[in-house]
Amino acid sequence: MRAPCRVGPAGPDQRAATEGGPYEAPSWGRPPRVRPADRRAVGSGFLLALAFITFTSTAFGYEPPVARSYAKPTADGRHVLVMLVPKSIRNVPDDDLRKKYGKSGLYPADDPAHPVWTCDWYAQFEASVGVSNDGVYAVRVVERKRNWRQITDPKYRVPPRPPGVDEWPAVVVHKNGEPARTFALRELFDCDRFTPADCDGGPECSITAFLDAGGRVTVRTTAGGAEQKRTLDFRTGEVFPVGTGELAELREASDTEDRAKMRPRGERPLSAAGPERSVLRVMAIGVGVVAACTAAFLALAAVLVRGQRR
């Protein structure tokens, strides 16, 4: 026998149906409704997160370094190498440095009105040039800017390696401001290892060490993802074999005293490896900041949703 059906007092849904009001099914077994206010809160949080991602992606994206003027003292502090941005590179207003010195060249540290010598060449990065203490020699690497579309543009195709890369200038030794000796890439590095990507705007070279006492300078480049270094005597023009004691001595001296003296007071040290590592650091910092701020905005949106439901 079936149990008799017990009829109890009418529930709110039954009363609403009996009285002709709208009937709503019980809330169990179906997801809760999202009110319009909740949708607006979620949408606002999403738009804020999207706007911040767009802003930070632009702000932290790589931008090529802007040419600037600077004054770099020699290791003993008796002279100052002044590099003023040429007007042909960038139309810059007359700043205090240009008003003080007037032209690029080497000046006594305490006499900006009487240059030891002046020059028409310009080195954009301080790590790209070094000057001997006697003020006679200046060693400069030929600055080349790698095409960063290789990293930023996934559709970019690297062009073939251009002919004659071996003969491209790498280092220029100046005497009293005038070019005295130019070293080609083939005289310093194994050019067979340069890939088309290395030569697309490059190869990039930089000075990693400058030792005035021995007349030695070490330059580096990257070929096929591997680092190459070479030491030369800027007074005699002799190029030392890789892995000699001269290179080890130079590296030890440059890491301690000379590079600290070569840097102007108040200036942060420049990366000897060139702009590539700096760019990767900037990109990593940008990604981290974007991720952290996106999480913060999503958490804020969740808080707003909870507040609307109360």
What residue spans define the domains of the chain?
35-61+274-310, 70-123+126-267
Average pLDDT over all residues of the chain: 75
- Write out pLDDT tens, residues 148-157: 777 778 888 9
Question: Please, which pLDDT band fits residue 275 given cuts at 50, 70 and 90?
Answer: very low
Question: Please, which pLDDT band fits residue 270 given cuts at 50, 70 and 90?
Answer: very low
State the Cα angle at 173 between 229 and 118, rounded to 5°.
140
- Write out pLDDT tens, residues 149-190: 777 788 889 999 999 999 999 999 999 999 999 999 999 999
Please report the pLDDT score of residue 82 as a whole number.
Answer: 95
Q: Select from 142, 222, 234 the least CA-distant residue to 190.
A: 222
- Write out pLDDT tens, residues 47-102: 665 655 555 444 444 455 677 889 999 999 999 999 998 877 766 666 788 889 98
- Write out pLDDT tens, residues 220-234: 999 988 999 999 999
Between 220 and 299, the more confident residue is 220
Cα separation, 276 vs 205, whole angstroms: 11
- Write out pLDDT tens, residues 4-30: 555 555 555 555 445 555 545 555 555
Q: Select from 37, 107, 111, 32 the least CA-distant residue to 74.
A: 107
Please report the pLDDT score of residue 183 as a whole number.
Answer: 96
Cα separation, 25 vs 261, whole angstroms: 81
Between 126 and 305, the more confident residue is 126
Which amino acid is residue 251, in one-letter code?
A: R
- Check whether 268 has a pLDDT greater than 70: no
Please report the pLDDT score of residue 87 as a whole number.
Answer: 78
Q: CA neighbours within 13 Å on the CB side: how many for 131?
A: 31
Which residues does 81 contact at the CB level (< 8 Å), separation at least 6?
71, 72, 73, 74, 105, 106, 129, 131, 138
Q: Provide the whole-model pTM.
A: 0.61
